[in-house]
Amino acid sequence: MTDVPTAAVEAREVSRVYQMGGVSVTALRRVSLTVAPGDYITISGPSGSGKSTLMHLLGGLDRPTSGQLWLGGQEVGGLSATAMAQLRNRRIGFVFQSFHLLPRTTALDNVALPLVYAGIAAGQRRRRAAQLLELVGLGNRMRHRPNQLSGGEQQRVAIARALVASPSLLLADEPTGNLDTATGAEVLALLEKLNAGSGGAVAGGSSPAGSGVAVVIVTHDAEVAARARRQIRMRDGVVVAEAAPPGAAR
């Protein structure tokens, strides 16, 4: 019998309720989602649909009000904040619309930053950061600071930083939102290349042979959503549709 790979992340009947001015606001309603190793998923929907809330739960940045969240086969409900941060640092990379790079720090040191928190020695983390910058096509820009880079280059630095600890899952929140159409297409192509396993050391052995890091993209852009193998649409805190669009990337 062939072993079934452990899911990169699994949400089971998760709900999220916020208290706002004494009023309960339900952002998610009993949503279940499994992200398999090497998956490529987009989550879309209108503002207030719950897509960003779901991403924050999948990334361990927030906790569900009810339901269970499993990261790499481990149920995280009972973890302390410190243990949760350590697990998140090992298993998940994040890419945001606004890049979130340290402005006075070189591309190399921005990428190496997660390895500082992991306790990796300086020489090793700089070698790993350089390897990832080469992988995303910025080998000649390592010593540049963010204000010396274009928007597309800054997002590539952010992607390299997200991958530097060899996570099994990459979560991207509107990764093309601050980019022009052509640059956004280049960034998506890079994410798809990494998802396909191109570049060798991307997955760090955490995904099945022949696949790369699992990618989940939150987007409001229908064209971005249509590129994925699995397209999930949300409204009013629930999943209303899931499809594999014709012509989706493989």
Q: Is residue 1 one of the residues assigned to a domain?
A: no
Q: How many domains does the chain fold into? A: 1
Inter-axis angle of helices 107-117 and 151-163, nearest 10: 20
Q: How far is CA 211 from the centre of its chain?
A: 16
Q: How confident is the model at residue 2 (pLDDT cuts 50, 70, 90)?
A: very low
- E-assigned strands of the chain? 9-20, 23-35, 40-44, 66-71, 74-75, 92-96, 169-173, 214-219, 230-235, 238-243
**238-243 and 230-235: which strand pairing?**
antiparallel
- pLDDT (tens digit per residue) in 171-220: 999 999 889 999 999 999 999 999 998 554 453 444 433 358 999 999 99
Identify the band that residue 139 occupies on the pLDDT scale cut at 50, 70 and 90.
Answer: very high
Give the pLDDT confidence score for residue 230 in this predicted structure. 95
Q: For residue 45, what are the CA distances in angstroms to 22, 95, 221?
A: 27, 19, 9
Residue 204 falls within a domain, yes or no?
yes
| Helices within 142-180 (DSSP H only) | 151-163
Domain for residue 139, yes or no?
yes
Question: Can you give the residue range of the structural domain that contains 89?
Answer: 9-243
Asked, for residue 170, whether it belongs to a domain, the answer is yes
On average, the pLDDT of the chain sits at 88
pLDDT at 157: 96
What's the CATH number where 226 sits? Answer: 3.40.50.300
Flag whether 2 is in a domain. no
* Average confidence (pLDDT) over 101-124: 93
- Quick check: is 143 in a domain? yes
Tokens 């995303």 -> residue: 136
Tokens linked to 143: 């010593």
**248 located within any domain:** no
DSSP 195-224: HHTTTSSSSTT-S-TT---EEEEEES-HHH
End-to-end CA distance of the chain: 26
The answer to whether 83 and 33 are in contact (CB under 8 A) is: no
Helix/strand number for the chain, H first, E second: 7, 10
Q: Are 94 and 169 in contact (CB under 8 A)?
A: no
pTM over 0.85: yes
Tokens of 114: 């997660």
Write the burial class of residue 115 (CB in 10 Å: 0-12 exposed, 13-18 middle, 19+ buried). buried
Residue 3 lies in a domain: no
